[in-house]
Amino acid sequence: MEPEAPVSPRRRGFTYEARILNDDTMIGNRMRAFALSTTLAIICFAPPAIAAQFDGNWSMVAVTTSGHCGEIPIDVGISRGRIYSTGGSSFGTVFAHYPIQLVGRVTASGQVRMNAVAGPRSAHGTGRFNRFRGSGTWEGTGPSGVCSGIWSASRS
């Protein structure tokens, strides 16, 4: 067996420098990936700051103009642009003996999209809020068929 030839210091230095450069590149890539993911998280999950003008409690009434759903009062809250049912309507936020689960979003310009579910019934609505009132249209389906109508809301 022949002894291995010694590696020259120059060769060792080159390998060491290459490893340092490679490690620096990996750390740089990791930092860039971290910065990018942090930026995306902030952009995607940050609440719309201007939509905060709609924050608070609202009293909403959905009135049927087509079908057999009647008039449905719903107390809703808005927080950081998110719309949700609060459970405080005169009917206990129920419709046909089912609790109403209402969720949605309001944009900074006041555009609204929301969805509601009450047992086997579901509906979706669109519209617009200003600082004191809101209104729009809705349509839904349930065991008795299709219903549609208008909704209006005012600050509580």
β-pairing verdict for 145-155 and 101-106: unpaired
Select from 78, 119, 82 the least CA-distant residue to 97: 119
Examine the pLDDT at 154 and tell me if it is beyond 60.
yes
Provide the mean pLDDT of the chain: 79
Confidence bin at 99 (pLDDT 50/70/90): confident
Fold type of domain 49-155: Lipocalin (2.40.128)
Domain ranges of the chain: 1-46, 49-155
Q: Which residues contact 130 (CB under 8 A, 6 or more apart)?
A: 110
Can you give the pTM of this predicted structure? 0.65
- Give the pLDDT score at 58: 95
* DSSP, res 87: S
- Give the pLDDT score at 39: 64
For residue 24, the one-letter residue type is: D
Higher pLDDT, 125 or 101: 125
Q: Which residues contact 6 (CB under 8 A, 6 or more apart)?
A: none
* DSSP, res 70: -
Considering only CA atoms, give the Rg of the chain.
Answer: 29
Q: What is the mean pLDDT of residues 113-139?
A: 94
